[in-house]
Amino acid sequence: MIHFLFATEMESKVLDGVKEKFTLDICGWGIDECRRNIPSIIEKYGQGVYVLSGIAGAYPESGIKKGDVVEVITESYEGESSSINSSIQLTTLPKVESMTVKSCNRPHGKAKIENMEGAPFFEQCATYGFSFTEIRAVSNITNEPRENWDIDTALKKLKENLKNILDE
**Within the chain, which residues score under 50 in pLDDT?**
none
Task: Please give the pLDDT value at position 107.
Answer: 55
Q: How many domains does the chain have?
A: 1
Give the domain extent around 63.
2-167
What pLDDT, in 10s, does the model give residues 118-147?
A: 999 999 999 999 999 999 999 999 989 999
Q: Which of 96, 93, 123 is nearest to 111 (CA)?
A: 96
Task: Please give the pLDDT value at position 18.
Answer: 78
CATH number of residue 162's parent domain: 3.40.50.1580
What pLDDT, in 10s, does the model give residues 79-97?
A: 776 788 899 999 999 999 9
Sign of the Cα pseudo-torsion (150, 104, 10, 50, in order):
positive
Q: What is the pTM (predicted TM-score) of this model?
A: 0.93
